[in-house]
Amino acid sequence: MKCVKYLLFFFNFIFWICGLALIVVGVIVQVSLHKTFLIRDASASAAPIFIIGVGVVIFFIAFFGCCGAWKENYCMVTTFAVFLSLIILAEIAAAILGYVYRNKLSVIVQDSLSEMISNYQNSTAEFRDGVDKLQEGWKCCGVNSSLDWKGFSIDEKTVPDSCCVNVTKGCGKGTMTDASKVHQQGCHDALEAFLKKNIQWVIVAALVIAFLQILGIVFACLLMRSIRSGYEVM
């Protein structure tokens, strides 16, 4: 049981790091949605705010678990196990909701990108710079294709320079459908491709965290039984 005590303490340290990582990921996603992707829809914040919230809760619960394990406090270890079980249930509920509303983000991104294009010329320099960085960084043009920029100029053949394969001043003039000079793929498809490419890493991370959480509950229950039976850990 001495081994269980130290394993639970070590587990909580790892769990504490996971909570900190979730907070960082949630903040990065939130900033990306509203700054990098310029998404203004408030509902898009639900996922990152949930991630940050879970991260904060895990952060403090792990600290609570560390103290309980180290001091061999039955009440603290029990509370830790109960809270950890509630977190697992919340994560399962979040996964189900995420699956049910899996197409919601795609719609939000589609609408936000369309709004970006329509407001491009009449917006601030900061806003235009954000759109340009998005297109240049993701190597995309428009929402679904470069044709979305038809209203950008009078000739209806010019796109912003950030759409160009090799970005130079004036490179987008009259080159809307020239695949050798302008990216033809829309930013919506580029983002979707990126998410599909990296979704396996999200699944792996979720499985690892779930495994650690279940392991933590098992260790907590073993330590609780040991403390309750009056066994003194050396």
Q: What is the pLDDT of residue 42?
A: 53
Per residue in 108-132, pLDDT tens?
A: 777 777 887 888 878 788 788 888 8
CA–CA gap between residue 141 and residue 158 (Å, rounded): 12
Q: Which CATH number is associated with domain 106-187?
A: 1.10.1450.10
Give 157-183 pLDDT, tens digit per residue. Answer: 889 999 999 988 889 888 888 889 999
Per residue in 48-93, pLDDT (tens digit) is 777 788 788 888 888 778 777 777 777 888 888 888 888 888 778 7
Longest dimension (CA), the chain: 85
Average pLDDT (192-210) is 72
Task: Please state the domain extents for the chain.
Answer: 2-102+199-228, 106-187
- Angle at Cα 108 formed by Cα 103 and Cα 111, nearest 5°? 125
List alpha helices for 32-103, DSSP H.
46-71, 74-100
Distance CA 24, CA 106 (A): 23
Provide the residue type at 138 as one letter: W
Single pTM value for the model: 0.57
Region for residue 43 given its phi and psi (left: phi exceeds 0; alpha: psi -120 to 50; beta: otherwise): alpha
